[in-house]
Structure 1
């Protein structure tokens, strides 16, 4: 994980929440920022399945746009069953909305980016190396559709140009695009890297200027062709989605009605999710979808929506404190626990759930995911919203 530029002059407090299916507390092995081993405060155990750790990032470790620095945060969790039981690792930076973090095993070396800075503000993307991999060569190919001006290493790059970057162990890079959009940018690297993207000081739906928000991008080999999206129901204005394709000539259908052909891999679809919508999106080739919204505290938030392929294939527990929907495939052997179906289409449906307590229970859903919301434990005015999916992402073979 990488940090980005911050207006704070002092340390930035980072919270890491780990939630699992099993009923034993997790042990945090270590946290490093660059080569520095970080002091972590006494963990806050919210339940046997949910633990929160905190540490500080120093001003010297903030990312500066266009410059490489040793700012990669490497978190090591010690647990013999973590490969099977890790559900979610959430990172919160000061009062920004929590971000879902994928493990190193789920990373790749080819990405396309969704960012958002449509009104005012700037778009950004951040790159981070995987520890102990040595020198990594990264090529960032900027989209050609719009005018671009991106600074890296005291040089400026414009639309369609390729930025050649070298990163070493624990190094990270923040690239900023003022009055231009990184969406559609192609990133290729010689080894696995982590990629994040988002927006700074832009307007999302409400008409208010939002704080920095970001989401982790998933590598193209984990994208899918079948998605169910749920409106957050937070903002009367509804949410937005952006869709980008892996390949040219991709046909996308939204709830079986609206069909759009995306002719270029640099192009994207943007549309509204109205309040209360549950939308089914399909494509004939792999796509990635991000959902953009504002929360009750008027914070901007971007979610990476998991495709059906990334749904859990075995029974899983409800998630501590989250209310929302279980989205299910409709297999005949699924147990519904008397909960009403909210919608049924194309073989998928959503079931409303209420899990205010931390007494997780096995619902018996298979081939499912969850779209959940809750008030953040430490900062009640922060609304924690996320899609839960497999922590170790399935790889497509086509």
Structure 2
């Protein structure tokens, strides 16, 4: 997803994940003489080298950027929790090149890996209520990272956890087959990761999606799915929709009710299905979350 300039901000908190390669993020200025201050967070054994100077955990890196100039920061370790402030609106992207995603104690051989990248929302767009639907077409559980901007508590499906800025984040393995509800005392950033899989019946690359808070859901979307024309005949583009349970029958895709099965509880419902074509229109009476992605 790419955000328009008018939705950018001046404060960001970073989420990254890298298993075997470098974690990274990029800052893009929208105006000349943009002053950027980066409070780096990383493990004590890692560092960032910029203009022949070494920065470690807790260091402040400052730079002035011209309009459309880009600053890229890389580290061999996780940069989650890094805070960015600027004098003008900036765009921030985060990810990692060609990385797998799996449990640290996993004993299986993991073959699949992919480039992870997504644009980050500013702190002003973060929320306190999230509904996370599982990535479809896989039997593996997803992970989420909940990143804090200040000390707060979070509830994951009703279970309470405290997260401090010293902790930076908490990572959770989500149950398969149903959506998960996350609430917090203060706005947080939530990133969802699909696991790498090497099983011949469940092969898929790692991927990442920044979860949209319920407060930012919309009642109408126009979107275009990816249409693969290549040797990977098992690739598909899917759509995931999350709405309130009371609105399931009101969701219309290209003017028609959704034909796929909804998975619901007392408050929210979600559904996923493959979709092709060049342009689609989703509408509903009340605000809804839409995710368009691809998988293999």
Out of 107-116 and 207-216, give the one that drifted further: 207-216
**CA distances 1:35-85 after superposition (whole Å, capped 9, x unpaired):** xxxxxxxxxxxxxxxxxxxxxxxxxxxxxxxxxxxxxxxxxxxxxxxxxxx
- 8 Å Cα contact 1:318-1:355 kept in structure 2: no
Mapping 1:106-185, distance limit 5 Å = 106-117=7-18, 119-130=19-30, 133-143=31-41, 146-178=44-76, 180-185=77-82
Match of residue 325, structure 1, among 226, 237, 240: 240
In structure 2, how many angstroms separate the alpha carbons of the residues matched to 1:146 and 1:199?
20
The CA deviation at 1:259 is 1.5
Deviation (angstroms), 1:315: 4.1
Contact persistence 2:25–2:74 (CA under 8 A): yes
Q: Does 1:304 align with 2:210?
A: yes
Shift of 1:236: 3.1
The partner residue of 1:255 within 141, 154, 157 is 157
- TM-score normalised by L of structure 2: 0.80
2:187 to 279, 283, 286: 286
Equivalent position of 1:215 in the other structure: 118
Kindly tell me: are residues 191 and 210 of structure 1, through their superposed partners in 2, closer, same or farther at Cα, counting changes over 3 Å?
A: same
1:150-185, CA deviations, whole angstroms, 9 ceiling, x for partnerless residues?
01111111111111111112211111101x210000
| Corresponding residue for residue 2 of structure 2 | 101
The 1:103/1:154 distance shift into structure 2, 3 A limit, reads same
| Residue in structure 1 matched with residue 289 of structure 2 by the alignment | 369
Residue 326 and residue 167 in structure 1: after superposition, are their counterparts in 2 closer, same or farther (change >3 A)? same
Task: Please point out which of 182, 192, 195 is paired with 2:89.
Answer: 192
Q: Is the 8 Å Cα contact of residues 327 and 368 (structure 1) preserved in structure 2?
A: yes
* Residue 335 of structure 1 pairs with residue 250 of structure 2: yes
Q: Are the counterparts in 2 of residues 145 and 266 from structure 1 also a CA contact under 8 Å?
A: no
Determine if contact 1:111/1:188 at 8 Å carries over to the other structure: yes
CA RMSD of aligned residues (A): 2.7
Cα displacement (A) at 1:191? 0.7
1:193 Cα deviation from its structure 2 partner? 0.8
Q: 1:121 touches 1:202 (CA, 8 Å); kept in 2?
A: yes
Matches within 5 A, 1:17-56: none
Question: Relative to 1, partners in 2 of residues 1:325 and 1:120: Cα closer, same or farther, differing over 3 Å?
Answer: closer
8 Å Cα contact 1:319/1:355 also seen in 2: no
How far 1:237 sits from its partner (Å)?
2.7
Unaligned regions of 5+ residues in structure 1, if any?
1-99, 375-382, 385-398
Task: Work out whether residues 290 and 304 of structure 1, in 8 Å CA contact, stay in contact via their aligned partners in 2.
Answer: yes
State the distance in 2 between where 1:191 and 1:361 align.
34
Report which structure shows greater RCO (CA 8 Å, sep ≥6): 2
Q: Does the residue aligned with 2:90 lie in a helix, a strand or coil?
A: strand
CA contact (8 A) 1:236 1:275 kept: yes
State the TM-score, normalizing by the size of structure 1: 0.61
**Conserved? CA contact 1:320–1:355, under 8 Å:** yes
In the aligned structure 2, how far is the partner of 1:167 from the partner of 1:200? 24
Q: Which residue of 1 aligns with 2:131?
A: 228
What SS does the aligned partner of 2:292 have? strand
Whole-angstrom CA distance in 2 between matches of 1:184 and 1:203 = 21
CA displacement, residues 216-263 of structure 1 (integer Å, 9 cap, x when unaligned): 111101000111111113443322111111221x1111112x211102
Partner of 1:18: none
| Counterpart-to-counterpart distance in 1, 2:293 and 2:133 | 11
**Other structure's SS at 2:99 match:** coil
C-alpha distance in 2, partners of 1:334/1:199? 39
Aligned equivalents of 2:222 and 2:183: distance in 1? 27
Unpaired runs of at least 5, structure 2: 103-108, 197-201, 227-236, 252-256
- Secondary structure of the 2:143 match is strand
